[in-house]
């Protein structure tokens, strides 16, 4: 796509999909209509990531905090999610897209999770694009769970306490076999991470757009990727150090 360097695309993009309710309110619709419109943006972003060859995409679909919303809206969200899984299954299979769950299965309605688990199983062998759906997810909960699992392994004699390192802790997270996000996109203009992938986004580039999620389609996604490519990721180093490293890599071998 114009203006994008295919060699500098992020390996993993994570998205905080925000603004469905405000989109609906601006149009004098109920909030559920906003979520339904947002599902079209999910399809567009998945398809764009697939065509660009981005290997990992994580979408924040339902947080632990979302249980505090009106019960009617919660029920509508689960109904929409189940319908989305059913309608998208042929597309996922045809395009060899792997679907994974990031989050806590407990609390998700049984019929919804049965549909979800079936799709996860059916797509487990695909590797062109992995779509992580963060559902019933909270970053603090994930880290606490990882610490608890490590403690259980210590108690069972499978680990020693001094084995704890950042890498070991990461192996207990929901995203253990997924690289950390390079780019986090948040729609609707809110400047916060909302308990999303707190451990994993330590070095991610953050891109905030005022666009509401139902209006976020291919063009907006590509613009976020362009902005990502305009940035310099330093990981604690200076620009001069990075320039020297690039020069050393491009120097002809003697």
Interacting residues of 97 by C-beta distance below 8 A, sequence separation 6+: 46, 50, 91, 123, 126, 128, 129, 130, 131
Model pTM score: 0.92
Taken in order of first residue, the domains within the chain and their CATH numbers are 8-250 (3.40.1180.10)
User: Would the annotation count 21 as a binding residue?
Assistant: yes
| Cα(239)–Cα(237) distance, integer angstroms | 7
Instruction: Kindly report, residue by residue over 54-84, the tens digit of the pLDDT.
Output: 999 999 999 999 999 999 999 999 999 999 9
Interacting residues of 154 by C-beta distance below 8 A, sequence separation 6+: 160, 161
* Distance from chain centroid for Cα 211: 18
Does residue 254 surpass a pLDDT of 60? no
Instruction: Kindly report, residue by residue over 130-188, the tens digit of the pLDDT.
Output: 999 999 999 999 999 999 999 999 999 999 999 999 999 999 999 999 999 999 999 99
| Cα(132)–Cα(100) distance, integer angstroms | 5
User: Would the annotation count 30 as a binding residue?
Assistant: no
pLDDT for 236: 76
Q: Is residue 100 within 8 Å of residue 133, measured between CB atoms?
A: yes
User: Would the annotation count 31 as a binding residue?
Assistant: yes
- What is the biggest distance separating any 2 CA atoms in the chain, rounded to whole angstroms? 69
| Cα(48)–Cα(222) distance, integer angstroms | 8
Element (H, E) at 205: strand 205-208
User: Would the annotation count 20 as a binding residue?
Assistant: yes
The residue assigned the tokens 């060859």 is 53
User: Would the annotation count 127 as a binding residue?
Assistant: no
Structure tokens at 29: 């619709």
For residue 68, the SS3 value is helix
Instruction: Kindly report, residue by residue over 113-133, the tens digit of the pLDDT.
Output: 999 999 999 999 999 999 999
User: Would the annotation count 168 as a binding residue?
Assistant: no
Active site residues: 18, 66
In the structure, how many helices (H) and strands (E) does the chain have?
8, 6
């Amino acid at each position: 796509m114009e203006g994008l360097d295919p060699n500098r695309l992020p390996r993993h993009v994570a998205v905080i999909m925000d603004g469905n309710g405000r989109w609906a309110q601006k149009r004098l619709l109920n909030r559920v209509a906003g979520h339904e419109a947002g599902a079209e943006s999910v399809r567009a972003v998945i398809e764009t990531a697939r065509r660009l060859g981005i290997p990992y995409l994580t979408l924040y679909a339902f947080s632990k905090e979302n249980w505090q919303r009106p019960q009617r809206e919660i029920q509508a969200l689960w109904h929409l999610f189940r319908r989305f899984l059913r309608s998208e299954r042929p597309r996922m299979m045809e395009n060899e897209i792997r679907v994974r769950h990031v989050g806590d299965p407990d609390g998700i309605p049984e019929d919804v999770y049965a549909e979800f688990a079936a799709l996860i199983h059916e797509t487990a062998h695909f590797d062109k694009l992995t779509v992580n759906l963060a559902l019933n997810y909270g970053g603090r909960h994930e880290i606490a769970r990882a610490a608890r699992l490590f403690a259980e392994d210590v108690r069972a004699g499978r680990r020693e306490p001094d084995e704890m390192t950042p890498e070991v802790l990461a192996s207990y997270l929901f995203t253990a076999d997924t690289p950390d996000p390079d780019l986090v996109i948040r729609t609707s203009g809110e400047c916060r991470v909302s308990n999303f992938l707190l451990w994993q986004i330590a070095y991610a580039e953050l891109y905030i757009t005022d666009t509401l999620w139902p209006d976020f389609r291919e063009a907006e996604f590509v613009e976020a990727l362009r902005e990502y490519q305009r940035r310099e990721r330093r990981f604690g180093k200076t620009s001069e150090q990075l320039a020297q490293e690039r020069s050393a890599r491009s120097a002809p071998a003697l």
